[in-house]
Chains A and B, each alone.
Chain A
Amino acid sequence: MGVRTWIEGWPVYRQLTGTDPLGRGAAAKSARSETLTARTETADSVARSVCPYCAVGCGQRVYVKNGRVTQIEGDPDSPISRGRLCPKGAASKSLVTGDLRQQKVRYRRTYATEWEDLNLDTAMDMIADRVLAARDETWEDVDDAGRPLHRTMGIASLGGATLDNEENYLIKKLFTAMGALQIENQARI
């Protein structure tokens, strides 16, 4: 490496002489960073999404490559967030891809001390059976005065507020048709 190359490789020199006096762009680049490509540039697809944590509703761009989320960034188009994300929004790639995330159904039998595996379809069928049984055991047709009740008090539900509107809509619709009244949400809490 010649002296000249050595001096020009010094970021402060580039900062003082080049087009980046604040040293926040080209001047700060090393030889290695010159060769790097951002994950956002090589993604196969980008989805426009919204942060799932608080109710500010910051815009997110979700980058996917080879069937995996490779990066989640703030969306500069959003008039709400202008590209910013707080620590939670910025960590949401880890929320989605973290090792601790459960990807398989877990089943705890009555009086058991450990989890077991269970097939998803079997689980759905078992849950449907239990819903129908609980409903039948606790069905109330009319009150003491003969006025309609049309309900079951044997089933309860508590939902989080990261549910989509469409999801809440189907939840309420199905439970209401079942006669299940005790349907609640974080919005009460």
Chain B
Amino acid sequence: MAEAHPVGFQWVMEAKARGAKVYHIDPRFTRTSALADSYVPIRAGTDIAFLGGIVRYILENELDFREYVVAYTNAATIVSEDYRDTEDLDGLFSGFDRTNASYDQTSWQYEGQERNAVAHDTETQRETAAALQHESHGTAVGGDAERDETLRHPRCVYQILKRHFARYTPEMVERVCGTPREKFEEVARAWTENSGRERTSMLVYSVGWTQHSVGVQYIRTGAIIQLLLGNVGRPGGGILALRGHASIQGSTDIPTLFNLLPGYLPMPHHALHPTFDDWINGIRHPRQKGFWGNAKAYAVSLLKAYWGDAATPGNDFCYDYLPRMTGDHGTYQQVLNMIDGKVKGYFLLGQNPAVGSAHGKAQRLGMANLDWLVVRDLYLIESATFWKNSPEVETGEIVPEECRTEVFFIPAASHVEKEGTFTQTQRLLQWREKALDPPADCRSELWFFYHLGRIVRQKLAGSTRQRDRALLDLNWDYPTHGVHAEPSAEAVLREINGYEVATGRPLSMFTEMKDDGSTAGGCWIYCGVYADGVNQAARRKPGREQSWVAPEWGWAWPANRRILYNRASADPDGRPWSERKAFIWWDGDAGEWTGHDVPDFEKTKPPSYRPPAGAAGVEAIAGDDAFIMQGDGKGWLFVPAGVLDGPMPTHYEPAESPVRNPLYGQQANPIRKVYDQPVNPLNPSPPEASSHVFPYVFTVSRLTEHHTAGGMSRNVKYLTELQPEMFVEVSPELAAERGLTHLGWAHLVTSRTVIEARVLVTDRLTPLRVDDRIIHQVWLPYHWGYEGLSRGDSANDLFGITLDPNVLIQESKVGTCDVRPGRRPTGPAVLDLVADYYKRSGNLLAHYPPIVTTETASGREA
């Protein structure tokens, strides 16, 4: 955090100055470690084993915050008797289907709900990254599950959790993670001792956590701990995801993602949602509690915002204009399709996949096989010049005279040359004022897309083809101003907020949205950002002039709440758990919830409220159901549906690992998303014999002085001066083993490519004893590429493409490689070196690692 989110880290230091203890768990000793109370080393890719050890420590010693756990989590809920655990099946859960490597989730359901909760099969969910829709809500479960509040029933979640994690002992943590047992126990003690009624602990991760083939389950494990310890919805608690880019949260909320529409509404699927009603009912599950019960109002308002007057109840609000998914259309599938010649044109909008995405070579070969490419950026980044300067031009794999891709580089406006909102890592929207107009041909994305739409619509004017109706009927009237005819960002924000169609009055709250077409709104969770016709995101009341929650600085979704699920900061009766941690409470005299934040609960629903029999939606949320977006109102220790690789996290080795999984026969995530394509060979891993050819673990992350793929930092002279060169950090022991010298050169080889870097020999990396072997890890920054003031090889070129099945994010924080002294070969000799590795590891070309590696047949049990 000190390294990649330095100014945010000031608050950690502030807490430390007031007595908080800071523990830093990382494969490498960093600037954060230097300021922490304790640094805890770990083998990259084993976080679930470490955190699973904490879960076991809590449960074996009964250190959970019992009142919180019983009231607010699903610990007491009884699970189907068909459920089988990884304990029974050697690392698989019940329902595993070998033929398509996916789970049937029926047996994971709550008792009595086995037949009504499965929306569609896991394979389709994986292909469409369906789990992403749950970013703002739970999945389909009925609100009326059976519970045993004594937590003794053998099939209650609490007992299942206890059995599942029983083998994650401190000895096992040491064996898997390489973390010394005392270090692990120090963290376990501190975390539990500092949680409960009077105290809270916070878990902070950076989004490298998501870049694993089990990324979602990493975060799930953190969530289980925080729920067991009563650290969710309370001040000083929670899980803080430190996102990496100025508005990456915004890019998920108002997504430019293939499977989502704004506000986490799903993009329709051709087979599941052929009709409007199928689509709506797929979002709001009948009988479910919570605010997703109103999904139709959110969806209709979006369609009204898109198609205005053309969207009527008679034509299902133009539902048929929406394109349909048929499977995985994610960025990696797209690139493989480009290589196969299926994609004609590609837009890159401030993004540099040639350096920033996994498997840089696949990215560049894909871009070299298009009809046309449009690059919008401040600088001539690597993705704009792949046809000229890429490593593949050096090896002869791309020949400029034979590369047909037509490239348009349209310079972009910078952040000071346009106005608009970023959503930062805590869901807070902040409006930026424009300082000046962009120079010369530079233009904002708002300008580019508004005018592209205008021109396209002009060219189609008069068309009678059905396919053009969606463009011609589009609500595309935005006022423009200034010399460049810049569209008004405020007008767009107002549309995002939503308004009453008849009067144009901006809505104040998403509860005002209607499902009859009388309201329009582009992103229901952002409703309120333009309440009263005022740009709430532009509020800048100085921090020192308001409370510590600072509610009048910017605007947070939803409804300006700064801590989600803050109902949980009070006990079931609505009293703060303790004076010290008071945040939101029930004021009986006034008959409403009050406190330091906007209550994340219906303002006047008393703690004693119990829903009438048969209630659904918002009405079904009881006065002590703190998790108001979940189908049963509870925080989930066990996930009965929606997380595709298991109802509870399980340690699997990374797709590329030098270690045989010490916990189960199953080596790696059995339902990870794989692309078995010639361009994407994977290094062998145990139990495959040739795994020793790539004996070292490598991991990558950021430097303070650079930003992601380097487009915004390697072109900036001060930053380049501060961190002038690509390098690799190695331990003194590995340097001795491989003959590497400090400040000399090394090259790293994987089955994709070879890259070189200057060597930094440092004890910031320690060899770890894992399962009775010494495992060496090396670390690289991933900022470099072949353009800019400072150039170097790209660390992301080393990775292959393997994805988390829930969200289709690639495993690009851990892999295996070989490390050799000296510089890499150049030109076609690069290909010869990689081919030699293929040969030594037993013809990788015809190879794909086995998905199921356990001896236990899953079918037998189920």
Contacts and interface: CB of A to CB of B under 8 A. Distances in A.
A185 B256 contact: yes
B414 interface: yes
A181 B270 contact: no
A55 interface: yes
Given A103-B441, A125-B455, A161-B246, A55 B351 contact: no
B453 interface: yes
Interface in A94-111: 94-96, 98, 100-111
A150 B712 CA distance: 37
B251 A185 contact: yes
Contacts of B807: 188
B474 A173 contact: yes
A55 B246 contact: yes
Instruction: Name the residue among A95, A118, A165 with the largest chain B CB count within 10 angstroms.
Output: A165
Contacts of B450: 170
Contact of B250 (A64, A96, A165, A170): A165
B38 interface: no
A121 to B, nearest CB: 9
In the complex, which of the residues B337, B343, B344, B406 has the most CB atoms of chain A within 10 Å of its own CB atom? B344
A89 B439 CA distance: 21
Contacts of A47: 416, 432-435
A116 B491 CA distance: 36
Contact of A53 (B274, B432, B434, B712): B712
Contacts of B449: 167, 170-171, 174
Interface string A148-179: 11111111111111111111111111111111
B324 A149 contact: yes
Interface stretch (B136-144, B397-405, B656-664, B764-772): B397-405
Nearest to B400: A113
A56 interface: yes
A183 B256 CA distance: 6
A173 B523 CA distance: 12
A30 interface: no
B402 A148 contact: no
A27 interface: no
Given A47-B435, A48-B432, A173-B474, A82 B409 contact: no
Contacts of B255: 168, 172, 185, 187
Interface stretch (B5-13, B175-183, B511-519, B818-826): B5-13
A20 interface: no
B345 A103 contact: no
B345 A163 contact: no
A103 B718 contact: no
A166 B718 contact: no
Contacts of B433: 47-49
Nearest to B787: A100
Most B C-beta atoms less than 10 A away, residue of A77, A87, A88, A189: A189
B810 A189 contact: yes
B372 A156 contact: no
Interface stretch (B326-334, B565-573, B590-598): B326-334
A92 to B, nearest CB: 8
Contacts, number: 478
Given A104-B440, A162-B350, A170-B453, A183 B257 contact: yes
A80 B423 CA distance: 13
B349 interface: yes
B258 A165 contact: no
Given A124-B452, A166-B446, A69 B331 contact: no
A94 B414 CA distance: 11
B258 A184 contact: yes
Nearest to A159: B349
* Interface footprint category on A: 35 or more
A59 B788 CA distance: 27
Interface stretch (B315-323, B605-613, B836-844): B315-323
A54 B351 contact: no
A169 B492 contact: yes
A167 B349 CA distance: 10
B467 interface: yes
B460 interface: yes
A35 to B, nearest CB: 26
A95 B262 contact: no
User: Most chain-B Cβ atoms within 10 A of its Cβ — which of A49, A79, A128, A163?
Assistant: A163
A158 B404 contact: no
A5 interface: no
Interface stretch (B108-116, B374-382, B684-692): B374-382
Contacts of B253: 165
B356 interface: yes
B597 to A, nearest CB: 14
A86 B7 contact: yes
Determine which residue in A45, A101, A186 has the highest number of CB atoms from chain B within 10 A of its CB, and name it.
Answer: A186
Contact of B411 (A104, A145, A178, A186): A104
Contacts of A25: none
A120 B438 CA distance: 14
Interface string B538-554: 00111110100010010
Contacts of A91: 713, 716, 718-719
A134 interface: yes
B696 interface: no
B35 interface: no
Given A156-B338, A156-B346, 10 more contacts: A52-B712, A79-B543, A91-B718, A94-B719, A111-B400, A124-B455, A130-B372, A131-B345, A161-B250, A184-B257
14 contacts: A47-B416, A48-B540, A49-B432, A52-B712, A54-B5, A79-B542, A95-B715, A101-B379, A106-B380, A110-B404, A159-B347, A166-B489, A181-B267, A185-B257
- The 9 A-B pairs at the shortest CB distance, nearest first, are namely A79-B543, A57-B424, A164-B420, A160-B350, A161-B245, A151-B323, A161-B248, A47-B435, A103-B440
Interface of A: 45-59, 62, 64, 67-69, 72, 76-82, 84-92, 94-96, 98, 100-113, 115, 118, 120, 123-134, 137-139, 141, 143, 145, 147-189
